[in-house]
C-alpha cells in the first residue's frame, strides 16, 4: 500500500487514471477497479527487491483484462517506475525495464550466514516490532 501516494502522484502528473492492487492471501489482486480494454498501463512501485510483487501486479492486471497494453521500452520490456530498486546483484537480467530513482545492491543473508546474527543480534521485522525500534 506504500506505493499508492507515489503512483497517484505520477498519474496526476501525467493526467492519467490511477488504480492499485492489494495483497489478498499473500498475492496481489485487483479488487476495487475495472480496466478498460483500451487502457495503457504504466506500472509504478515504491520499492523493488526481488521482482516477485512486480510480477504479481502485472499478472493481477492481465487477469482482470487480457487486452490492456503495458508501457514498453524499445526492446519490448514492460517499463516499471520505482523509487528504490535494491536487488542483491546488479545488473539484473529481467523481462522488465526498471526505471529507479535510487538503485543499490543490497545483500540479503540467511540467518546462518548473517554476520550480525553470528554476533548475537536478534533478527526483527520492523512492522512487527515498532515498539522495539522506538527505544
Buried-exposed string 75-100: b where 16+ CB fall within 10 A, e elsewhere: eeebbbbbeebbbeeeeeeeebbbeb
In a domain, 62, yes or no: yes
How do residues 49-72 score in pLDDT, each as one tens digit? 999 999 999 999 999 999 999 999
Q: What is the pLDDT of residues 83-100, one digit of tens each?
A: 999 999 999 999 999 999
Compute φ and ψ for 115, nearest 5 degrees: -65, -35
Whether the CB-CB separation of 67 and 36 falls below 8 Å is answered with no
Q: Which residues pair with 41 in a beta bridge?
A: 70
- Based on the structure, what is the number of domains in the chain? 1
Q: Is residue 97 part of a domain?
A: yes
Classify residue 113: in a domain, yes or no. Answer: no
pLDDT digits (tens, 9 = 90+) for 16-53: 999 999 999 999 999 999 998 889 999 999 999 999 99
Q: What is the pLDDT of residue 3?
A: 86
The number of helices, as runs of H, and strands, as runs of E, in the chain is 4, 7
Domain residues for the domain of 26 are 3-108
Residue 117 falls inside a structural domain: no
- CA 18 – CA 10 distance, rounded (Å): 9
pTM: 0.81
Amino acid at each position: 500500500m506504500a506505493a499508492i501516494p507515489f503512483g497517484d502522484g505520477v498519474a496526476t502528473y501525467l493526467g492519467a487514471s490511477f488504480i492499485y492492487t492489494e495483497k489478498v492471501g499473500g498475492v496481489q489482486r485487483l479488487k476495487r477497479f475495472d480496466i478498460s480494454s483500451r487502457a495503457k498501463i504504466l506500472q509504478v512501485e515504491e520499492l523493488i527487491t526481488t521482482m516477485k510483487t512486480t510480477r504479481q501486479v502485472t499478472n493481477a492486471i492481465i487477469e482482470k483484462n487480457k487486452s490492456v497494453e503495458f508501457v514498453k521500452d524499445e526492446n519490448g520490456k514492460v517499463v516499471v517506475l520505482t523509487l528504490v530498486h535494491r536487488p542483491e546483484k546488479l545488473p539484473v537480467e529481467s523481462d522488465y525495464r526498471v526505471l529507479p530513482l535510487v538503485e543499490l545492491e543490497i545483500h540479503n543473508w540467511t540467518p546462518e550466514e548473517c554476520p550480525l546474527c553470528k554476533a548475537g543480534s536478534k533478527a526483527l521485522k520492523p512492522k512487527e516490532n515498532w515498539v522495539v525500534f522506538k527505544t
